[in-house]
Amino acid sequence: MKRRVAITGIGLVSGLGIGTEATWSGLLAGKSGIAPITHFDTTDFTVKIAGEVKGFDPQTWIDKKEIKKMDPFIQFAVAASQFAMDSSRLKITPAIATRVGVHIGSGIGGFSTIEREHTELMRGGPRRISPFFIPSSIVNLAAGHVSIRFGAKGPNTSTCTACSSGSHAVGDSFRIIARGEADAMICGGSEAAITPMSVGGFARMLALSVRNDEPERASRPFDKNRNGFVIGEGAGVLILEELEMARWRGATIFAEIVGYGMSGDAFHITQPSEDGDGAFRVMNNAIMDAGIQPQEVDYINAHGTSTPFNDKFETLAIKRAFGAHAYKLAVSSTKSMTGHLLGAAGGLEGGISALALHHQIIPPTINYETPDPDCDLDYTPNTTRQAELNYVLSNSFGFGGTNAALLLKRYQE
């Protein structure tokens, strides 16, 4: 019998604000974190907007001498982990250190560091490369730094599955605890990919919105006039614990994780399958893993990227997975406010889903103005909604056809 797993800590860093409260209050207010890019000169770029984390000072969390050893994606992960640990009040003592692990994913890793060090190589040869280049940029060093910071000596790993990375990290951590291989996990995703190569590359794919004159209105999931996603940055980190451990120490339990699904499209390197099959199966797998019926799900925090294909086919998949109940449940995409955090999206949105359950509030899909006949569900348009929520599903889909879904349950004594 698998052990029950609780979410006891949530740490969020996003374009809406630094910290869980700042991000959550921004979501409930229907604010947009999208603005003109300031990280680099966009003069020659077709895309000039993003969901940048504003006013982030790494010295708030990291010793000055250590900052140069960390790409911003690691810095975001450290900050989000600190917020999560503070909210959980979990103390990793020597007695439990080997039973606490870390699993933090990223879709790209240290993109800005890679770009900077390549420039140095081209400018002055290999002697110009920083000795901190490799540990600053590789994907698993977010988990590495977090484990060192808190003394977590249990499973230490990372996943790099594009935009499903954060959800896979949380789901895999759920299973690690359920199997008894750890009692607690610090898990989620982090990304800092608002860089010239990244923005330029996604723009060349025609994946990004070019609504540069209206940044706050650019991300518009499920709206008929959507024209691409808006790249964001930040991190979402959760503290998962075996339920009896959390109860024993009197932790706040935001939600339980009760189901986790994985699937592959086996269709196309970047486009979702046209019948929504991979998305349908991943939701169905999470529901079956939880042992509930589809009609028990009350709300879906959708992948909802604001691209023409994703939103159409995710809607199709939801209707296939839930049948008539698809028209009764609430759906929303918080990417309308945060932008798309790529590998960090699942960690961020897993935390948002837990907060929705805890507070019994559904954050909206903002910028929903013109209905699309292909997207005909209840997307919680523009306004926060109070609701009775017992089960919430969080979807993440990535390039390469890799999909993850997390099913969360309201915790009640």
How far apart are the C-alpha atoms of 105 and 139, rounded to whole Å? 7
The burial class, CB within 10 Å (0-12 / 13-18 / 19+), for 119 is exposed
Residue 357 in contact with residue 392, Cβ under 8 Å? yes
The burial class, CB within 10 Å (0-12 / 13-18 / 19+), for 94 is exposed
How far apart are the C-alpha atoms of 184 and 377, rounded to whole Å? 37
How far apart are the C-alpha atoms of 102 and 156, rounded to whole Å? 5
In Å, how far are 58, 119, 317, 342, 381 from 192, measured between CA atoms? 13, 18, 30, 9, 29
For the beta carbon of residue 225, count every other beta carbon within 10 angstroms. Answer: 11
How far apart are the C-alpha atoms of 353 and 361, rounded to whole Å? 10
Residues with Cβ within 8 Å of 137's Cβ and at least 6 positions away in sequence, in order, are 71, 109, 110, 111, 113, 114, 117
For the beta carbon of residue 269, count every other beta carbon within 10 angstroms. Answer: 8
Catalytic residues: 163, 303, 340
